Structure 1
Amino acid sequence: MLKRHGIFAIIGLIALFAVLHLGFAPEDHSSRTTGTTLLGGIAFLLMTCSIVLSTRAPMFEDWFGGLDRMYQVHRIVGVLAALFALVHFFGVPKALPDGADPAVNVLVPSAPLGMLSLIFLVIGLFIALNRKIRYSFWRPTHKIMGLVYILVFGHFFTAPPVFVAQFSPSGLMLLAAGIVGILSMLYSVFGMNRRTAVPFNIEAVNPLERATEVVLKPAGQSLDFKPGQFAFVEIDAKGWSEPHPFTISSAPGEDRLRFTMKVLGDWTRKVREELQPGVDVKVRGPYGRFDASNAGDKQIWLAGGIGLTPFLSKIRAMEPDDKRQIHLVYAAREAQEAIFLDELKVHAGRLSNVTLVPLFSDEGNFARVDMMKQKLPDPLDSYEYFMCGPKPMVDGIMKDLKAEGVPRHKIHTEAFEFR
């Protein structure tokens, strides 16, 4: 669930800038100049926030409710920054005010830098929002936004004084934001991967029904994680350049790290068909706050298809003395597609607090709130819900739960989309 601490921090940052910008606006600036530079400054601050979020700092995971939510905000903030930048570009005065020396102001590169940044911003935004572009092409080209940020930084700090007061309180705030943003960008591009990478070696590649389990042996120290978290997996071999995020399906404390990947596209199909034991792997993480350990005593875990993986890690880690009462609802099209179903039955047998409810659509059994209402022993609003699966299924159930009076803070989901 998205937490509001980070949203409030961004809003507070924008509000502080607006107060400083409007409260200390130069007297010789027109209201149009003050207003449009305000919009440009807000665009720059939003771009800075987007870049800072890309560092994947654990502190911000706590503020926003997990890396998946951070990326949602990263995307929305980026779009808002582009909109503010466009309004700024078309609204800012193009002619010099009376009394300004054209010979002095024509020497500064602010205008061409602003034009270039706008062009690259539109191109980068198109690439970032186009779902039809393959991830292997999208990921490196998305880095064009770093160039846009540097151009915008240069555009602001080379602007003529008749338009911008760089060393006013709001200008100094933008300068500080720019320094933080550039350092964050350099860390994301050059430093983060080296600092966070944990080396593993592929021990086994196990084909399952419409999925593949990859078993990793640590090359040194293993990964410390909580059940339900995910990590980025990068194959250290030719043709496997980009990392991909997957939920960890093993339990903490196991001597092997396991990922279970649904065969959805070229990369996961290549994993199933071509990946061999012995290949080196880099794992970066863990990330995510899909944690049921501190929730209420009565919980519903609802898994759709490959959405089982975070619950698989949770149930593998669960001890027999766990006091929570858990209903694990596992929805799949048919029994043959229900991976790890036999293992789940074994865990449900050893754990007196877990009730396993398999639902197969080919038998006419669907994960529906009206069925839960009939079969659960307690009212719907007495449970906390953890859901992971296809977005239409999760969205539909969430809507129905809200209609039945279940508070939003009792419904936990993952937003497993990173573009």
Structure 2
Amino acid sequence: MLKRQGVLAIAGLIAIFSVLHVVFAPDTHDPRATGTTLLGGIAFLLMTCSIVLSTRAPVLEDWFGGLDRMYQTHRVIGVLAALFALVHFFGVPKELPAGIDPAQNPLVPSAPLGMLGLIFLVIGLFIALNRKIRYSLWRPTHKIMALVYILIVGHFFTAPQVFVVQFSPSGFLLLAAAGLGIVSLVYSIFGMNKRTAVPYTIEAVNTLERATEVVLKPTGPHLDFKPGQFAFVEIAGKGWSEPHPFTISSAPSDGHLKFTMKVLGDWTRKVREELQPGGHVNVRGPYGRFDATGAGDKQIWLAGGIGLTPFLSKIRAMQPGDKRQIHLVYAAREAQDAIFLDELKERAAQLGNVTLVPLFSDEGNFARVEMMKQKLPNPLKSYDYFMCGPKPMIEGLMKDLKAEGVPRRKIHTEAFEFR
């Protein structure tokens, strides 16, 4: 669930800048200059926030509720930044006011830098939001946003004093943001992957029904993670260049790291058909805040298809004596699609506090609120819900649970989308 701290921090930053910009606007500014430069400053601050989020800092995960929510925010504020930048570009005066010395207030190179930045911003935004572009092409081309940010920083630093006073209260805030943005940009492109990489070797590649389990053996320190977290997997070798995020399906105490991947596209198909034991893998993480340990004693874990993986890690890590009463609702198309079903039945019997509810759509059983009303021993509002699965299923369940009076704070989902 998206937490408010991060969003409120961004909103507070924008509010502070807006007040400083308007209250301390130079006397030479007319309302148009003040308003359009305000919009430009807000666009720049939103771009900076977007870049800071790309560093994947753990403290930011706490503020936003996980890396998945950070990426959602990253995408939204990127779109807002583009909209503010467009209004700024079309609204800002294109000529110096009468009587202003052009030698002391040159429009070049600020104006060309701003125009180039806007052009590349629109191109980059189109690429970022176009889901038809393959991930292998999307990921490197998305880095065009780094060029956009550099151009916008140059646009701000070289802007004529008649429009922008860099050493005003709001200007100092933008200068500080630029410094933080540049540091974050350099770190996210050149330093983050090296710092967070944990090396593994491939021990086994197990073929399952419509999924593949990859078992990794550490070559050094084992990744320290919590059940329900995910990591980025980057396989060494030609044709395996881009990292992909997957939920960890093993328990933290397991000596190996396991990822269970549904065959959805070219990359996961290649994993199934070509990946061999002995290869080298870098794992970066862990990420995510899909944690059920701090919730109430009555919990519903609802998994749709491959959405089982975070719950698989949780149930593998759980020990007898756990005081929670958990109903694990596992929805699949048919029984043979329900991977690890026998293991889940065995673990539920061992633990005693887990009730397994398999639902197969070919038998007419679907994960719906009406079904839960029939099968659950307590009122719906008495449970905390943790859900992971296909987006339409999760959105439908959330809508129906809210209609039944279940508070939003008791519904936890993982938004596993990163583009």
TM-score class normalised by the smaller sequence: over 0.9
Q: Distance in 2 between matches of 1:326 and 1:249?
A: 18
Q: Distance in 2 between matches of 1:187 and 1:416?
A: 24
Q: Distance in 2 between matches of 1:160 and 1:12?
A: 28
Q: Distance in 2 between matches of 1:104 and 1:299?
A: 67
- Structure 1 residue 95: deviation in Å? 1.6
1:39 aligns with 2:39: yes
Give SS of 1:203's match: strand
Which residue is equivalent to 2:224?
A: 224
- Structure 1 residue 106: deviation in Å? 3.9
The residue type equivalent to 1:35 in the other structure is G
The residue type equivalent to 2:110 in the other structure is S
Which residue is equivalent to 2:331?
A: 331
Alignment deviations for residues 188-242 of structure 1 (CA, whole Å, 9 cap, x no partner):
0000001000000000000100000000000011000000000000001111000
Which residue is equivalent to 2:117?
A: 117
Which residue is equivalent to 2:264?
A: 264
Which residue is equivalent to 2:399?
A: 399
Alignment deviations for residues 301-353 of structure 1 (CA, whole Å, 9 cap, x no partner):
00000000000000000001100000000000000000000100110110110
Which residue is equivalent to 1:387?
A: 387
Following superposition of structure 1 onto structure 2, how do residues 91-170 of structure 1 map, counting pairs within 5 Å? 91-106=91-106, 108-170=108-170
The residue type equivalent to 1:4 in the other structure is R
- Structure 1 residue 104: deviation in Å? 4.1
TM-score (norm 1): 0.99
Give SS of 1:283's match: strand
1:340 aligns with 2:301: no
- Structure 1 residue 103: deviation in Å? 4.0
Which residue is equivalent to 1:408?
A: 408
Q: Distance in 1 between matches of 2:106 and 2:62?
A: 47
Alignment deviations for residues 350-404 of structure 1 (CA, whole Å, 9 cap, x no partner):
0110000000000011111011112211100000000000000000011000000
Give SS of 1:102's match: coil
Following superposition of structure 1 onto structure 2, how do residues 45-84 of structure 1 map, counting pairs within 5 Å? 45-84=45-84
Which residue is equivalent to 1:195?
A: 195
The residue type equivalent to 1:206 in the other structure is N
Q: Distance in 1 between matches of 2:370 and 2:174?
A: 53
Following superposition of structure 1 onto structure 2, how do residues 268-347 of structure 1 map, counting pairs within 5 Å? 268-347=268-347
Q: CA RMSD in A?
A: 0.7
Q: Distance in 1 between matches of 2:158 and 2:99?
A: 19
- Where structure 1 has 5 or more consecutive residues not aligned to the other structure, the ranges are none
Quote the sequence identity (%).
82
Which residue is equivalent to 2:172?
A: 172
Q: Distance in 1 between matches of 2:224 and 2:285?
A: 9
The residue type equivalent to 1:165 in the other structure is V
Q: Distance in 2 between matches of 1:405 and 1:286?
A: 34
Which residue is equivalent to 2:26?
A: 26
Alignment deviations for residues 90-126 of structure 1 (CA, whole Å, 9 cap, x no partner):
0001121011123444463001000100110000000
Q: Distance in 2 between matches of 1:107 and 1:366?
A: 63
Alignment deviations for residues 148-187 of structure 1 (CA, whole Å, 9 cap, x no partner):
0010000011011111111101011100000000000000
The residue type equivalent to 1:175 in the other structure is L
**Is the 2:107–2:159 Cα contact (8 Å) retained in structure 1?**
no
The residue type equivalent to 1:59 in the other structure is V
Give SS of 2:181's match: helix
Q: Distance in 2 between matches of 1:32 and 1:235?
A: 53
Give SS of 1:82's match: helix
Q: Distance in 2 between matches of 1:185 and 1:348?
A: 46
Q: Distance in 1 between matches of 2:63 and 2:215?
A: 32
Give SS of 2:154's match: helix
Alignment deviations for residues 249-271 of structure 1 (CA, whole Å, 9 cap, x no partner):
00011100000000000000000
Q: Distance in 1 between matches of 2:333 and 2:303?
A: 12
Give the total of aligned pairs: 419
4+ residue runs of structure 1 moved beyond 3 angstroms? 103-108
The residue type equivalent to 2:35 in the other structure is G
**Is the 2:205–2:276 Cα contact (8 Å) retained in structure 1?**
yes
Give SS of 1:56's match: coil
The residue type equivalent to 2:219 in the other structure is A
Q: Distance in 2 between matches of 1:232 and 1:375?
A: 37
**Is the 2:290–2:412 Cα contact (8 Å) retained in structure 1?**
yes
The residue type equivalent to 1:396 in the other structure is G
The residue type equivalent to 2:301 in the other structure is W
